[in-house]
Structure formats: structure tokens, C-alpha cells
Amino acid sequence: MSKKVVTFGEVMMRLSPPGYEKFSQASSFELVYGGGEANVAISCAYLGMKAAHVTRFPNNALGKAATQFLRKHWLSTEHVIYGDDMMGKYFLEKGAVHRSSEVIYEREGSAFSLIEPSMINWESVLKDADWFHWTGITPAISDGAAKCCLEAIKTANKMGITVSGDINSRSNMWKYGKTMQDVIPELVEHCDVVITSSRGIREMFGLGQSEDSFNTLAKELITLFPSVKKVVKKTRRMLSASHNQIQGKMWNGKAYIKTDMLNITHIIDRVGTGDAFAAGLIYGLLHYEDQQALDFASAACALKHTVPGDVNIVSLENVRDLMEGNTTGAIRR
């Protein structure tokens, strides 16, 4: 029987100039939909898992179009709710070689930002789920979104469902009167798996020193939050906007594990690669031992760099091939 993952978070319209044009060159924009948590659910669905995403869309044609996008990519939208009239959006100018990508957000006052805990019955949502996933973006959007996220996590705990959080810090998003230090620790307290960075551990939890290794900081995080079983990191070395190297790292409470460095020489689209890593980790931990799970996550992340758009729509076979060392990209016949 296939495993089921449930995710929770905002889905936005992504608007980009064609190809690698700058905003000042654009006379039209390409439209796709995306959001960190939904990207994870879609990736899991393409790997063969059952997947559902919970969000709130505006009650208009844009909200319905976004719902159709989720359904197109194999997600259950049974628990999507509707209200108000604004869709969150972001504008992406894709970088190349030595020119960085640029992102401009327009999400204040979106239908999702106005969500409240009373709008969702989490016991119903999480029925038959094996895994619940959230990111640090969601509680940064609004107080209502943060409270919904906490309720979802606690409900998952009661139901015996594994919880993962991808919590890299984005301090510039917190604009509703609370800081990430006010909110994130209570959410992490109830997690089983945490994806973060050395800087994130220092900034969000006040742990360690700047010279401390990820391994040292991960041990301190697990000591602070005993429910956390694994702390995971994706390391990225940027040689240019078009050429990156990535590596997965994990402290599982007993051993420090890492993957080989994967060389990504011709990046097509970097957006959503962290979500692809998270999805690969979820699939991997549900189906493999820790080392293979981390190898699977890194392979999934690397492949997302080759896929335009927010979501990683590669197959299970694609990821397994790369995980097993097939880097040739030979034509399949």
C-alpha cells in the first residue's frame, strides 16, 4: 500500500519573463503555480505516493484555476478551502551564469494569510496519513497561519503521524508582530524530522557559535527538543547561477551521515529545489535506511534543477537512476 503525505501552506501564482529575460525586457509573463509545501506534495505524488495539500484560495476564478493545477499534478484537494478574493503571487527573474535570480513577493492580504484554525478539521484532514510536512514560511505569513500549523502538528502527534518541518530562517517575512524566535521553537518541539541549516539553528534557537559545525549544532538541537529524531541539511556550493554543487547531511541521533557532492553544471530552474530535497527525504525515510534516504533526497534535489517551474515532476525511476550513480543523461528508448 502506498504511503500518504499531507502538506499545509500557501500556493501562489508565479509570474516570470520568458526564458532568462530581465523584468525590464518583458512584454509578457509565464504563469505557473507554486508554494513550498505544495511543491513537496506534488513531488511525492510523482514518486508514487498518495498526497494531499491543505490551503486557502480566493473564492474566484484564480482560486479555482490554482485548484485545477494541484489536481493536474495528482494531489487531493478535498480539504482546500475558499474565501476572500486575493491570490498571493510572486515575480521571478531567472538569473544565469554570474547574474543572480531576483524575486518580488506580493502576498500581504492574500486569502491564505487570512486563514484561522476554526476553518480546518485536522483530524479529518489527517485521517489515513503517514506523514505531515510544513515549512517555516507558513507560520511567518500570519498569526492565523501559525496557529493553524501548530494545531495540525499537535493533531498529527496525537494520531501517531510523522511530522517534518523545513525551517530555514527568513526573518524578513515576519511582519505581523511576532518573530521566528517567538513561534518556531514551539512548532519544532513536536517534530520528528527537521530540515534546516547551521545559521537557522543559531538564529532561531540561539544555539552554538558561528564556528560550530552542523553536526555539533544538530546534536544541540536534538538535546533541546528530544522528540526530534533527525536533523537534515542540504549544502549548496555556488560556482555561478548556472553551476552549483549540492550535498545532503544528517545527524540521526547516533551517526553523522552525508552524501557525495552532486555536480549540477547547467541549471534550468533553481526554484523549488529545496522542496524537491524535502520530498525526496520524506519518500526516502519511508522506504529506505537513513543513508539511502539521504542519497535519494540529494538525487531528487539535483534533478529538480533540470525542470522548469516550481515543482519536481521527475519519476521514481529517474531519481533511483541518479541515486545509483547514472549521471549520463542518456536517452531512454
Record the cell numbers describing residue 65, joined without a space.
484555476
In this predicted structure, what is the pLDDT of residue 275? 97
Q: How many CA atoms lie within 13 A of 231 on its CB side?
A: 30
Record the cell numbers describing residue 247, joined without a space.
550535498
Per-residue confidence of the chain (333 residues) as pLDDT tens digits?
A: 789 999 999 999 999 999 999 999 999 999 999 999 999 999 999 999 999 999 999 999 999 999 999 999 999 999 999 999 999 999 999 888 889 899 899 989 999 999 999 999 999 999 999 999 999 999 999 999 999 999 999 999 999 999 999 997 677 889 999 999 999 999 999 999 999 999 999 999 999 998 999 999 999 999 999 999 999 999 999 999 899 999 999 999 999 999 999 999 999 988 899 999 999 999 999 999 999 999 999 999 999 999 998 899 999 999 999 999 887 776 565
- Which CATH superfamily includes the segment(s) 4-323? Ribokinase (3.40.1190.20)
Domain range summary for the chain, segments of one domain joined by +: 4-323
In this predicted structure, what is the pLDDT of residue 325? 86
In this predicted structure, what is the pLDDT of residue 328? 73
Asked if 272 and 280 touch (Cβ cutoff 8 Å), the reply is no
Which H/E stretch holds residue 331?
A: none
Residue 112's nearest CA partner among 60, 64, 166, 55 is 55
Cα angle value 268/318/13 (rounded, 5°): 45
Residue 22's nearest CA partner among 90, 97, 106, 102 is 102
Distance, in Å, from the CA atom of 124 to the CA atom of 122, rounded to the nearest integer, reads 5
Hunting for cell 549548496 — which residue is that? 236
Distance, in Å, from the CA atom of 116 to the CA atom of 113, rounded to the nearest integer, reads 9
Asked if 12 and 34 touch (Cβ cutoff 8 Å), the reply is yes
Task: Please give the backbone phi and psi of residue 251, each rounded to the nearest 5 degrees, phi first.
Answer: -110, 120
The letter for the amino acid at 118 is S
Helices (H), 110-193: 122-125, 137-141, 143-158, 180-188
In this predicted structure, what is the pLDDT of residue 241? 87
DSSP character string of 207-253: -S-TT--HHHHHHHHHHH-TT--EEEEEEEEEEETTEEEEEEEEE-S
Percent of the chain that is helix, strand, coil (3-state, to 5): 40, 25, 40
